[in-house]
Amino acid sequence: MFQKKDKYNVAIAGATGVVGEEMLEILASRKFPIDQLSLFASERSAGKSYTFMDKEVFVETLDEADFSKIDLILGATSSSLAKIYAPKALKAGCAIVDNSSAFRMEALVPLVVPEVNGYLVTLDQPIIANPNCSTAQLVVALKPLHDAAKLRRVNVTTFQSVSGTGKEAIDELIEQTKAILSFKEAECHVYREQIAFNCIVNWDCDPETGDTEEEDKIVAETRKILGEPDLRITATTVRVPVFRSHGEAVTIETEKKLTLNEARALLSEAPGIIVLDDPARKIYPTPLDTVGQDNVYVGRIREDKSTENGLHLWVVADNLRKGAALNAIQIAECLIKA
């Protein structure tokens, strides 16, 4: 069981990926109480060093990890790797906040976004799951509206940046853009289709339903986090040629009618949300506005005239921060305060 201390031995699993490196920066900026930091990654990254709080920390492989000396692991690995190291770490008494999809839908594992259901974080919970990046920002925006008027239906279309796929996807967008602007052929390695100057809507698709894994995650995770297993929700996920931050076009229907001013007030007063919504002055959030920011931004709040009690929202957030690294560290902060 996780024991409360003044300072903790913390490890990042997957430290050299885009989420792991973001975790490193956020741990320092938020002054998380760390006694000793360990960094783990694959063999090809072993020996790489990072500076953390004026100290040099070297990357080790997970095979070298002595979990008995670690209090808390922040997981930023693939789900397949998480399933390998997590049982060993749990047996040694570590607490784990995992960013992969490995444990999200397990009944006994809390799936947490602190602004929405942070009360689920307790000292006797050995592993806590972090949701999909698109889900995290979505539920932050939905929560205050759901509490006030109860959701009947949610329809979301995501516009997801390439950083959600990792460093290789960022590099691919850069290289394809260079190639096209130089009148050369763009090579595809990470995505099956060209991402530069394009949008991709069909990745990891179920051949029978046509739904993607990403779409299924949003549906199932949103229901679990909001505690509404029968919520009618549908999702369409789109990968767009943006380096960082996800946008979401969200349409909701509620049981109780909310006016635009009521919706704006509820969102403005909710934790973790900044409302940028002034149609007259053409003020609304964009992915560039949110890069490096911790909050979820909401704008273009409009009435959906095609249905009863309907609203449109435009929701944007940094997928590497609130969608992943920051949310995981906020969960860890809840844990040490529990």
| H or E element at residue 177 | helix 167-181
Same domain for 29 and 73: yes
Length of the chain, in residues: 338
Same domain for 34 and 16: yes
Average pLDDT over residues 97-123: 96
Bigger pLDDT: 73 or 2? 73
* Confidence at 175, pLDDT banded by 50, 70, 90: very high
Same domain for 271 and 255: yes
CATH number of the domain encompassing residue 54: 3.40.50.720
Same domain for 314 and 173: yes
User: Can you count the helices (H) and strands (E) in the chain?
Assistant: 9, 13
Kindly report the number of other CB atoms within 10 A of residue 8's CB atom: 22
2 in a structural domain: no
**Is the predicted pLDDT of residue 2 greater than 90, yes or no?**
no
Between the CA atoms of 131, 144, 115 and 130, what dihedral angle is there, to the nearest 10 degrees? 0
Share of the chain above pLDDT 70, in %: 100
Same domain for 142 and 37: no
Largest CA distance in the chain: 59
Same domain for 150 and 49: no
Instruction: Give me the DSSP letters along 221-252.
Output: HHHHHHT-TT-EEEEEEEE-S-SS-EEEEEEE
Q: What is the pLDDT of residue 25?
A: 96
d(CA 271, CA 267): 8
242 in a structural domain: yes
Same domain for 290 and 143: yes
Instruction: Give me the DSSP letters along 104-118.
Output: TT-TTS-B--HHHHG
Q: What is the pLDDT of residue 70?
A: 96
**Is the predicted pLDDT of residue 316 greater than 90, yes or no?**
yes
CATH number of the domain encompassing residue 223: 3.30.360.10
Same domain for 162 and 306: yes
Instruction: Give me the DSSP letters along 208-228.
Output: TT--BHHHHHHHHHHHHHHT-
CA separation (Å) from 167 to 20, 190, 258, 280, 282? 11, 10, 41, 39, 33
* Confidence at 85, pLDDT banded by 50, 70, 90: very high
What tokens were used for 84?
Answer: 């390998």
* Confidence at 134, pLDDT banded by 50, 70, 90: very high
Q: What is the pLDDT of residue 263?
A: 98
Same domain for 105 and 145: no
DSSP-derived 3-state class of residue 15: coil
1 in a structural domain: no
pTM attached to this predicted model = 0.95
Average pLDDT over residues 43-50: 90
Which amino acid appears at position 10 of this protein? V
Q: What is the pLDDT of residue 64?
A: 84
Average pLDDT over residues 124-129: 94
* Confidence at 147, pLDDT banded by 50, 70, 90: very high
Average pLDDT over residues 227-250: 98
37 in a structural domain: yes
**Domain count across the chain:** 2
Same domain for 261 and 199: yes
Q: What is the pLDDT of residue 168?
A: 96
Q: What is the pLDDT of residue 205?
A: 80
Kindly report the number of other CB atoms within 10 A of residue 81's CB atom: 17
Average pLDDT over residues 51-78: 94
Extract the runs of DSSP E, i.e. beta strands, from 169-328: 232-239, 246-254, 273-275, 296-304, 310-317
Average pLDDT over residues 281-297: 97
Same domain for 308 and 237: yes
Average pLDDT over residues 243-262: 97
Q: Mind telling me the catalytic residues?
A: 133, 246
Q: What is the pLDDT of residues 184-213, one digit of tens each?
A: 999 999 999 999 999 999 777 888 888 999
Q: Which domain holds residue 239?
A: 135-319
202 in a structural domain: yes
What tokens were used for 20?
Answer: 């792991």
3 in a structural domain: no
3-class secondary structure per residue, 35-85: EEEEEEECHHHCCCEEEECCEEEEEEEHHHCCHHHCCEEEECCCHHHHHHH
Kindly report the number of other CB atoms within 10 A of residue 116's CB atom: 25
* Confidence at 278, pLDDT banded by 50, 70, 90: very high
**Is the predicted pLDDT of residue 133 greater than 90, yes or no?**
yes
Same domain for 310 and 162: yes
